Amino acid sequence: MKKLLVSLLASSVMLVACGQKTQTEAEEQEKQEQVADAQQTGEVANKSANDQSSQENKDKEKSVEDVTPSPSEEPGDESETVNELEQWLPKTPNVERIYTGEGSEFAEFTTYPQFIHEDTVQIKHQNPGITTYSIYEYREDSIVEIFAHHGSLMRDDFANTAQTSDTEGEEIVLKTPIEVGTQWEDREGQTVEITATDLELAAPNGTVPGIEVTTTTIDQDGHEGKIHRYYGKDIGLVKEVTELSSDAEMTVTSTLTEYKPDTVEKIPFTLYALDYETLDQAIEIETELELKTNDPIRLALTDKLKEELDSEVTNLLPNDATINFMYLDDNNVGHVDFSEELATNMQAGASGESEILQRIVDTIANLYHAEAVNLSLDGGAYDKGGHVHIDKDQLLYPTHGPMAQ
């Protein structure tokens, strides 16, 4: 029973936070797609990477919240059907939602909207047992989960990497018309139906109009259960009640208790730095990245690797160096591509350069929980440093931290 409950809770990742399309984001998507195509072949053109870096730096300076128009300001290019769906699953960037749970240790969870593109959003859903990253697509008559990945704390924009989904098929989350009796089937072939449209729901900021969507489940022993999901207007998921019918009835409830706008996602990680004088002693520094919706993790990590933390620790990146792209592939290998300044502007001898690169590998591997790291320079081999040569597709392995061999 507990296994079934965990499976149901893990599969019911909710779409609860997204953002409206802006011209800036549309341009960013185009650039990201160019780089994503190159990532899959391991070749990144300098111009494409530099253009993406320039655009993302502009986006970092001007947050999604600042550039996202309100519904009244948005041009009339969306159908009434899509708007009807969005009022129940609104697109709001930089909002953390916190749900408390009853009946199971996995019933409590948090969500955060990581990336917003023209018709898709990526949501992180984290409970005590698992972290899931889902991509939802807004269509004319439905909102559909098209991708899901279960992993550690990370920030890849999965719409623009070579990562494949952990699940097969699509999952309809909500479908029009929004009226009692509208039905569809989920990924498992179970019946989902809109069962109420005239509710008043208690939300953190007051009572809001709501609807109920009910999934009828059948377990392996043939017992029928119900999952009731309640969506509040302009809020999103407000409550989820799972009723499992078996020899002993069981009810699990997740309730939205905190709605936190203007919030950043915090990603803790360990920075593996070097002793400033000897360049041969690894120093572990616990820190975190703070990212808003659509902030690329590579820019934040670049800043962290350039920091001069104190007089005893050296920074790992020269000031002019940048990360062109970074992602985790299906083989649990982290790929990171730097600009040539990492090699040409590094002030270290042969042993010092080797140690600095190894600390970068340690940091990336443990950030991703990756088995190995493929480190490249402008899409090619690391061959401009003078002391160290790394082939284009060579794998490097961490020597410090939990992922060390």
Mean pLDDT for the stretch of residues 23-45: 41
Quick one: residue 169, left, alpha or beta (phi over 0 = left, psi -120 to 50 = alpha)? left
Q: Are 359 and 274 in contact (CB under 8 A)?
A: yes
Token reading at 397? 């392995």
Cβ distance 333 to 370 under 8 Å? yes
Q: Are 341 and 318 in contact (CB under 8 A)?
A: yes
Q: How many helices (H) and strands (E) does the chain have?
A: 8, 18
More confidently predicted of 193 and 306: 193
Identify which of 156, 126, 128, 165 has the alpha carbon closest to the alpha carbon of residue 370. Answer: 156
Using pLDDT thresholds of 50, 70 and 90, give the confidence band for residue 57. very low
More confident residue, 222 or 340: 340
Q: What is the pLDDT of residue 259?
A: 97
pLDDT tens for residues 250-282? 899 999 999 999 999 999 999 998 876 666 678
Per-residue pLDDT reduced to its tens digit, 365-386: 999 999 999 999 999 999 987 7
256 beta partners: 99
Contact 371, 404 (CB under 8 A): no
Model confidence at 179: pLDDT above 60: yes
Q: Which residues touch 405 (CB under 8 Å, ≥6 apart)? A: 397, 398, 399
What burial class does residue 140 get, using C-beta atoms within 10 Å of its C-beta: 0-12 exposed, 13-18 middle, 19+ buried? exposed
pTM of the model: 0.79
Which three-class secondary structure state does DSSP give residue 120?
strand
pLDDT above 50 (res 53) = no
Give the per-residue pLDDT at 309.
64
Token readout for 125 is: 């859903």
5: pLDDT strictly greater than 80: no
Q: Nearest Cα to 279, choosing from 250, 305, 249, 315?
A: 315
CA distances (Å), 153 to each of 126, 150, 163, 258, 395, in order? 9, 10, 15, 21, 22
DSSP state of 47: H
Is the pLDDT score of 43 beyond 60? no
Indicate the pLDDT class of residue 151, thresholds 50, 70 and 90.
confident
Q: Are 122 and 114 in contact (CB under 8 A)?
A: yes
Mean pLDDT within 166-178: 94
In tens, the pLDDT along 102-124 reads 999 999 999 999 999 989 999 99
Query: Does residue 150 register a pLDDT over 70?
Result: yes
Residue corresponding to tokens 């992180």: 124
Tens digits of residue pLDDT in 291-315: 999 999 999 999 999 886 665 677 8
User: CA-CA distance, 33 to 44, in Å (whole number)?
Assistant: 12
Mean pLDDT value across residues 128-147: 95
Strands 131-138 and 282-291: unpaired
Predicted confidence (pLDDT) at residue 49 exceeds the cutoff of 60? no
Give the C-alpha separation, 289 to 266, whole Å.
6
Distance (Å, rounded) from C-alpha 31 to C-alpha 120?
16
Give the number of other Cβ atoms within 10 Å of residue 120's Cβ: 18
Residue 181 CB-density burial (10 A; 0-12 exposed, 13-18 middle, 19+ buried): exposed
The angle at the Cα of 159, spanning 156 to 160, to the nearest 5 degrees, equals 75
Question: What average pLDDT does this structure show over 27-51?
Answer: 41
Q: What percent of the chain has pLDDT over 70?
A: 76
pLDDT for res 310? 61
C-alpha closest to that of 269 among 287, 284, 283, 282:
287
Give the residue, 94 or 219, on which the prediction is more confident. 94
Grade residue 185 by pLDDT with cuts at 50, 70 and 90.
very high
pLDDT band of residue 26 (cuts 50, 70, 90) is very low
Token code pair at residue 260: 């936190």
- Report yes or no: 139 and 120 within 8 Å, Cβ to Cβ: no
The two tokens of residue 190 are 């179970």
Is residue 138 within 8 Å of residue 161, measured between CB atoms? no
Name the average pLDDT for the chain. 81
pLDDT of residue 59: 42
Tell me what the mean pLDDT of segment 139-163 comes to: 89
What distance in Å separates the CA atoms of residue 10 and residue 106, rounded to the nearest whole number? 9
Q: What is the model's pLDDT at position 39? A: 42
Backbone angles phi, psi at 287, to 5 degrees: -145, -170
Task: For CA atoms 86, 190, 213, 149, give the dihedral sign.
Answer: negative
177 prior amide bond cis, ω within 30: yes
pLDDT at 62 over 70: no
Total count of residues recorded for the chain: 405
Strand order in the sheet with 323-328: 323-328, 333-338, 372-377
Residues 329-366 have pLDDT tens digits of 999 999 999 999 999 998 777 788 899 999 999 999 99
